[in-house]
Chains A and B, each alone.
Chain A
C-alpha cells in the first residue's frame, strides 16, 4: 500500500502539490488522481501521479503478465483541465436575463436576450421569492429539476444530483430522469434476454473477465466499440493499455462500425464498415448460416435458453417468408455477403467475444433494443460463457463486477464502493415523488398529459419497464419552473427543449453552471458554479484499475464569485429555513470517509488521511486472485465471481441463474410477452425493423430520397459528451475542430471522398448537415474512415444558434436535428444515431448577411462563444 509521508510534497521553492480528481464521468467517482503543481495561487502544471510502494495487479495469461504502468494515465481533457477553470467561457458572477423580471418575464426572448451581472444577494433574493411564490401557488412539485448525468469527478462539491436532494428537503419537486444514453438498446432490450440487474444498464457483470479474455479469447469483435475514445473520459487511458493487452495476447480484433474509429484505426486487424443501425440484419444472417451449417451450440440453446425454436423459424424465413440470408443482409447492411459468410465461420470456429466500451453507433439508434437482443442471441448460439466467449463491456469502474472487479482487486477494496448519497439521483429515481424521463421533458411541458412506460434510470430493474406513468399526475399543476444544473440537453438530446423553454407556461428558469454553455443562455438567472480546482474535496478513485482515495486541497482561489454546487445548495437551504439539514462540506466528507477501505481496512484516521493526502491500495497477487475465486465457488457454488465473466453460467448443466423470470436466456421474453404482446416495435421476440410508427430513419424509407445519407453521431473523442468544447489546446487538433475561412472553429463532419466529390465538397469547406428538423453547420473532414453513404458528427459541441426557428446552429450541435421521439413507443430511450440527413456546402458570408444579429455576437478568436457573447457589461 502506498501512503504519502506527511510533508514530502511541500517544496522549498514554494511549489505546492495538490491531488485532484480525474475524469468527467461524475457520479462522485474519479479515475486515479492527478497531481497539480501550484505556486502563488496559480496552477503551473498537471501531471500523472507515480505510484510508489504499491503492488500493482498482474493478470497471467498465455505465459505472459499483463499490467499497467505504475502511474496515472491522464487523457487530453484531464491534462488540459486548468483551461476549463480559466476559460473565457466561465460564469463569474450571478447573471440575470436583461428583460426578465417577476412583473415582465418575456419567455419568448429566452435564448435571444443577453444577461447582466447581479449580486449573489440579488440572485438569491429573486430565487427565494420565486420559490415561495411557486410553492404557494402550485406547490413545489411544479419545479422541474434537471441535474443528472456526467460531470466533474469530485466527491462532494461538484457531482450532479445534489439539487434533487435540495428540493426533496425543501418539500417537493419533479425529477428529470436521465435515460441510459450510452446503453439504450442493452437497457431496453438485452435486459429482457439476460437480466443483469444493477447499475449496469443491461450489460453483463464483468467479474474477473480479463482472466478469461486474455487467456482464451482468439477473436474480439469491437461492435461500435472505441476504447480510445469512450474509456478515457471515465478512467483515463487504461483503454489504450487494454488494447495493447489484446495485441500482446495475440487476439485478432475485428471492428464492425460505420466509422473506422480511433481504436479501430490503431488496433483493428480488420474493419468491417456497416450501415448505421443495420447490425441486427448482420447478426440474423450469421445466425442463418450457423443454423444451415449446424455450426452452433445446439445443446446450450436447449439447456440455457427459451424460445429458440421460434427464433429459428424467423431466421429461416418460415414466419415472414424472408430467409435472413447473407445476400438479404448485404442489401441492407452494405457488408458484402462473402464477408458475412467468412465472419460467421470465424465466429463459430474461433473463440470469439464481443466488446462494446459504451455507446457506439448502433446502440443509440431507432429500435436499438432489437439489435441488442439479437446480439445476445448470437452470442448464446456459440455458447455464451464458454472459455473465450464473453461480452466484454467498457471499462467503467471496479464495481462493474457483481462480486469481483474485472481487473484483480481485493473484494474488500473494490466492493466497498462509497458513493456520495446526494449523487444517488444520477442513477436512481426512487426518492422522487414525480418523474419525467429526460427524453419526454419537452413534450411534458408543451403537450401534457403524456404517458409512458419505464423510468430509464440506470439502476432500475427490468420489471420497472412495465410500469405505466402519467404526467402530470392528479393534483399536479404541470411544470412552472425549471432548475437546470447540467446544461447539455440541446447538444446531447434534441432541439424540442428550445420550444419548451420559451413556453409562457415556464415562469422562471434558473441555470447553475461553471460555464456559459448550451441552454444556460435560455435561463432567467444563472448562478456561477466551480471547477474542481477551486475547493477542497475528496477524490474517490473507483473508476480505474487502481483503488485510491485522495484529499483534494483547493488549488486556486474561486474564479469570480463562483461557489461549489454543494455550497450553493447550503446557501439556498439556509435562506429557505432548512440550513440545519445541509451540513458543511467537511462534515459530510468526514462522515463518508469513515466507510472507506482506507479507514476500515487500513485504520487510517481522517486526520492522518488529511495529512498524507493520498492512499493507494495494493492489489492481490495472481495466486491470491485465483484463490479468491475458488473461495467464492466453495461458498456459493457456480455463480458470479466463481468463474470469469459468464463462464459460471455456461458450466451450469441447466442454465438457470440469470435475473429473468425463467432464469435462462429468454429469446422470447416472458415479461414483454405478458405486458406488450402486440408491440410491433419491441415484440416479445426481436426482429429486424428498418422503420415503423415511431421512426423512419432508414434508406429503405421514402424520406431517404430527400435525405440520402445516414448520420452517425458518436460519443466524441475530443470532449466528454458536452464537456470541454472550449479547450483551445484541443480545438487546435486537426480532427477536433476545423477552422473556417471566417476564423470560426467548426465541428468536423466526417464525409467520404466519394460523397464529398459528388457534392463539390472539399476538405475544410463549411457545410450544413440537415434534414426537416433543422441544419447544423460543420467543417468538412474528408476521410476514408467513414463508409460511403454515411457521415459522422460527434455529439456535444456547444450550440451557437444562428436561428431558433428554423433551427440553424453554427456550433455543430448535431443532436439538434435528431428525432425527439423515444427509441420506440413503449420505451423512453433516446435516438441520436443513424439518422437520415443531407449535406451541402454553404456560403458562410451569405448566411452572415441573412442573420446579422446572430453573427454580431462577440466571439473569442480561439474559444468561440465566451462570456462576452452573452453578458452585457452595464457601465
Chain B
C-alpha cells in the first residue's frame, strides 16, 4: 500500500535535470505546510551521484539519483525528539517545518544523508516527494518534479500494488540498514573486468579469444569473447569478490591471472597471448 518510486539507473544520462528541477521547485518557493523554501545552494534533496569507473581507456561513468528513501522504518523519525517527522498513509515521510525545533538529531540518523539543515530558518529539510503536487493542490502538475522532467523516463512513481513486477526485479540501497526504503533501483552498477588481448609477435589485436572469470569463492563463471579490437568486458560480476581470469585462444598459450579483486572496476590493460611453440 502506498507510493513507491523506481529508478532505472541504466536509463540515467546524468543530465542533472532531476537535481535542478527539485531546486526549481523548492528554492524561493514556500509550500507550507509541506515545506519551507530551501536555501539557494548547499541542499540536495535529490542529488545525482557520479561514479567514474575503470581506467584509461576502459572508462565508463554511471549516475545514480539519490533522494530521501521515504523509509517504512525511518531512523529519522525515531531520532526526532519532538515528533516533527511524520509518515503519511501513502508512505511519504515529511518533516513538519513548524514542529521542527532545529536540534539536528535526524541528520546523522539517516544512512542516506538525505536530510539537510537550513541555517537561516533553523530547521531540518529534505525531499517531500513533492507531496504538495501529489495531493493535487496544483492543477497543472500532479507528479514530483524529478519524475516530470526526466527526458529518459528513468524515474517512475506509482502505487506499490501496480508496480509489483518492477519491484520484484529491483533492489534498495544499503539494505543492511533495515530502513525499508520505498525508493527502488533497477540496474545498479555491478563491477566489470575489462581488457584487450593482442599477439605481440605480429602486433595485432586478437579477435575471438575466450575470456573467463571464475569466482574464487563460489565457482561461478562468466564468459566473454574478444571483439575485433581484442577488447572484452566481463560484466555483472559481484562487488568485492576475487576472480581468476583465463584468456584462451587456439594456437596460443592460455593466460591466467588469479586474485583479481572487484573492490573497484578493473581494467587489466593489454594482455599478450604467446603463440604455442
Contact = CB atoms under 8 A, between A and B. Distances in A.
B153 interface: yes
B3 interface: no
Interface in A225-270: 228, 232, 236-237, 240-241, 243-244, 260, 262, 265-266, 270
Contacts of A243: 13
A37 B20 CA distance: 16
Contacts of B138: 13, 15
Contact of A73 (B41, B56, B141, B151): B151
Interface in A847-864: 862
Interface string A730-774: 101111000000000000000010000000000000000000000
Nearest to B200: A338
B116 interface: no
B20 A271 contact: no
Given A75-B15, A266-B14, A785 B151 contact: no
Contacts of B90: none
For the side of the interface on B, what is the size category?
A: 35 or more
A74 B149 contact: yes
A339 B56 contact: no
Interface in B203-234: 203-205, 228-231
A784 interface: yes
Interface in A316-338: 336-338
A752 B55 CA distance: 10
Given A266-B13, A270-B231, A338-B198, A728 B41 contact: yes
A730 B17 CA distance: 10
B17 A76 contact: yes
B40 interface: yes
A47 B229 contact: no
A784 B15 contact: no
Contacts of A339: 205, 229
Interface residues of A, number: 60
B148 A79 contact: no
Nearest to B58: A271
Contacts of B41: 728-729, 732, 862
Contacts of B52: 265, 783-785
B55 A76 contact: no
A13 B20 contact: no
Contacts of A447: none
A734 B50 contact: yes
A46 interface: yes
Contacts of A11: 139-140
Contacts of B29: 44-45
Given A15-B138, A15-B140, A80 B20 contact: yes
Contacts of A752: 56
Interface in B50-84: 50, 52, 54-61
A652 interface: no
A13 B139 contact: yes
A819 to B, nearest CB: 28
B36 interface: no
Interface of A: 11-13, 15, 17, 37, 44-48, 69, 71, 73-76, 79-80, 82, 228, 232, 236-237, 240-241, 243-244, 260, 262, 265-266, 270-273, 336-339, 341-343, 345-346, 728-730, 732-735, 752, 783-788, 862
Given A69-B153, A729-B24, A729-B41, 13 more contacts: A44-B29, A47-B21, A76-B16, A243-B13, A266-B60, A270-B229, A271-B59, A337-B203, A338-B198, A338-B204, A338-B205, A728-B41, A732-B42
Interface of B: 13-17, 19-21, 23-25, 27, 29, 40-42, 44, 48, 50, 52, 54-61, 138-141, 145, 148-149, 151-153, 198, 203-205, 228-231, 270
A-B pairs, 10 with minimum CB distance: A265-B61, A73-B151, A342-B205, A237-B151, A240-B13, A271-B57, A342-B229, A784-B56, A260-B59, A338-B203
28 contacts: A47-B145, A69-B151, A71-B151, A74-B149, A76-B17, A79-B17, A80-B20, A80-B24, A237-B15, A240-B13, A262-B61, A266-B13, A271-B57, A272-B57, A338-B198, A341-B203, A341-B204, A346-B229, A729-B19, A729-B27, A729-B40, A729-B41, A730-B20, A783-B52, A787-B56, A788-B56, A862-B40, A862-B41
